[in-house]
Structure 1
Amino acid sequence: MASWNSLPLEVSYQVVGWIAFVSWSISFYPQVFLNYRRKSVVGLNFDFLLLNFTKHSSYFIYNASLFFSPFIQRQYFEKYGSDEMIPVAANDVAFSIHAVVLTAFTIFQVFIYERGSQKVSKTAGVITVAVWTVATVCLFIAWPKQSWLWYISIFNSIQVFMTAIKYIPQAIMNFARKSTEGWSIGNILLDLSGGITNFAQMGIQSIDQRTLVNFYGNIGKTLLSLETVFFDLLFIIQHYVLYPARDTKSSEAAPFLRSAESSNTKLKANDDSMSHDV
């Protein structure tokens, strides 16, 4: 495997990669804490959670397999050249593990907190079943020829596909409700930071190696960053421009103000009636 040509770039690669890991990992917590504080998951789309869990599980299988398996790494070098670098870093594996655990915990919150009439749609259920069915069929295809690099690439393709569609149900829900209440914007801002730094990490490796192989050698990581940035910008526009948060204090005080106004009106009417009688 190729080695780094520049120590500063190697250090930058590691630093930027772990910044991406921290940003993406912390991005799960605002939603978890929001659910806990509200004791409710109303406003959080369940299709998003299901598709997201499938996405992160697939990404974990790909990252861990390519990072830890010498056999799969050898197949990678046979395909792209022995002078290339493995396009999966330790921070990619660490993030995948953390993402699966936190997404599973958020799904657990769905079962213990108030969720209103929300439920997983049949479409999301069918997509999830279809994806894992395809993965199972591909396993039997890869087994005879030991085509494990091809097989884990299927999971990389799955995570790209799931990333492209997982945000859509939440975006549609925000549009239908004309609100982003219950959907943590903190999650989105951190997610955007992770997407940008993840792409920057690949750019640093390309500059050092003077090649773009790592971009298409791990096309899933490239598309993951681009898709993340696109959808995060969409959610930012929804939250801050299209459906800005209402003044919570004013909305909470409104019923009391209306009640006070009603009482004052009744008192005034009574006073006028008494004056008329006199």
Structure 2
Amino acid sequence: MASWNSVPLELAYQALGWFAFSCWSISFYPQVFLNFRRKSVVGLNFDFVLLNLTKHSSYLIHNASMYFSSAVQKQYIEEYGSGEMLPVAANDVAFSAHAVLLTAVTLFQILIYDRGTQKISKLAIGIVSVVWLTAAVCFFLALPTRSWLWLLTVFNTIQVCMTILKYIPQAIMNFMRKSTDGFSISNILLDLSGGMANYGQMVVQSMDQGSWNNFYGNIGKMMLSLVTVFFDTFFICQHFVLYPAKKTYKTVADPEKSEEEIKVHLMQCSDEPPVVANV
């Protein structure tokens, strides 16, 4: 494999990679803590979690195989030339392994906490079943010729498709409820930061090598960053612009003031109709 030409760019590459790992890894915890605090998963779309688990599992298979397998690396060199660097970094492997673990924890929370009337849709179950059946068929097709690089391209394509699909149920759910309650925006802000850093890491590598082959050789990583930035921006608009959280005003019961007088007073202090909660 090729080596770095610039030490500053190599350091920038490592810094961006581990920054992306930190943001993306931490982004799982706000939702987990929110579910734990509420003892409820109402507001979190279950299809999102199931599709996310499939996405990260396929991404882990791709990253770990590309990073650790000498056979895969040999095929990559044959495809793109010995002058190209490996398009998968250690932070990619670490992130995908951590992501599988935390997504599994979130799925377990769905099983044990209050779900309301929510459930995993038959469509999501069908999609996941077709995806893994397709992956199994591709594995047996690649086995006779040892076409491991092609097989990893299949897994990379799966993770890109799952990345696109996983966000749609949550976006629709927020739209139908006209609310983002139960869906952690901290998760989205960290996810967005990680996506931008991940893309920046690829740009730095291309600048150093004077080649864009690392984008072609790992198009899944590039698409992951672009799709993440797009949907996270959309979720941020939903949370802060389209469906901002309504303020709840708490007042101490005053025997000398009627509830109607309290409402009038609060309406004078706010442009939005208040919700009055007598304590």
Distance in 2 (CA, whole Å) between partners of 1:231 and 1:104 is 22
Match for residue 63 of structure 2?
63
Match for residue 235 of structure 1?
235
**1:61: Cα distance to partner?**
0.1
Q: Which amino acid aligns with 1:3?
A: S
Match for residue 20 of structure 2?
20
SS at match of 1:126: helix
Distance in 2 (CA, whole Å) between partners of 1:5 and 1:111 is 50
Q: Which amino acid aligns with 1:26?
A: I
TM-score, structure 1 length as denominator? 0.91
Match for residue 74 of structure 2?
74
SS at match of 1:182: coil
Match for residue 98 of structure 1?
98
Give deviations 1:170-199, integer Å, cap 9, x for gaps: 000000000000000000000000000000
Match for residue 273 of structure 2?
none
Match for residue 259 of structure 2?
261
Q: Which amino acid aligns with 2:233?
A: L
Distance in 1 (CA, whole Å) between partners of 2:22 and 2:118 is 31
Match for residue 161 of structure 2?
161
TM-score, structure 2 length as denominator? 0.90
SS at match of 1:146: coil
**Residue 80 of structure 2 corresponds to residue 83 of structure 1:** no
- Equivalent residue runs for 1:195-206 within 5 Å: 195-206=195-206
Distance in 1 (CA, whole Å) between partners of 2:228 and 2:201 is 15
SS at match of 1:92: helix
Distance in 1 (CA, whole Å) between partners of 2:159 and 2:76 is 19
Match for residue 207 of structure 1?
207
**Residue 36 of structure 2 corresponds to residue 36 of structure 1:** yes
Distance in 1 (CA, whole Å) between partners of 2:120 and 2:36 is 21
Overall identity of the aligned pairs, in %:
66
**1:112: Cα distance to partner?**
1.2
**Residue 177 of structure 2 corresponds to residue 171 of structure 1:** no
SS at match of 2:222: helix
Give deviations 1:42-84, integer Å, cap 9, x for gaps: 0000000000000000000000000000110000000000110
Q: Which amino acid aligns with 2:131?
A: V
Q: Which amino acid aligns with 1:107?
A: L
Q: Which amino acid aligns with 1:91?
A: N
Distance in 2 (CA, whole Å) between partners of 1:245 and 1:24 is 25
Distance in 2 (CA, whole Å) between partners of 1:97 and 1:140 is 24
**Residue 136 of structure 2 corresponds to residue 136 of structure 1:** yes
Q: Which amino acid aligns with 1:28?
A: F
**Residue 37 of structure 2 corresponds to residue 5 of structure 1:** no
**1:38: Cα distance to partner?**
0.7
Distance in 2 (CA, whole Å) between partners of 1:261 and 1:183 is 33
| Higher helix proportion | 1
**1:162: Cα distance to partner?**
0.2
The runs of at least 4 aligned residues of structure 1 exceeding 3 Å deviation read none
Q: Which amino acid aligns with 1:60?
A: L
Distance in 1 (CA, whole Å) between partners of 2:183 and 2:146 is 43
Distance in 2 (CA, whole Å) between partners of 1:23 and 1:90 is 15
**1:216: Cα distance to partner?**
1.0
**1:261: Cα distance to partner?**
2.6
Distance in 2 (CA, whole Å) between partners of 1:162 and 1:106 is 17
Distance in 2 (CA, whole Å) between partners of 1:60 and 1:83 is 25
Match for residue 126 of structure 1?
126
Match for residue 223 of structure 1?
223
**1:152: Cα distance to partner?**
1.2
Match for residue 116 of structure 1?
116
**1:111: Cα distance to partner?**
1.1
Residue segments in structure 2 that go unaligned for 5+ positions in a row: 263-279
Match for residue 149 of structure 1?
149
SS at match of 2:145: coil
Match for residue 270 of structure 1?
none
Distance in 2 (CA, whole Å) between partners of 1:141 and 1:112 is 39
Distance in 1 (CA, whole Å) between partners of 2:98 and 2:206 is 27
SS at match of 2:88: coil
Would you say how many aligned residue pairs link Structure 1 and Structure 2?
260
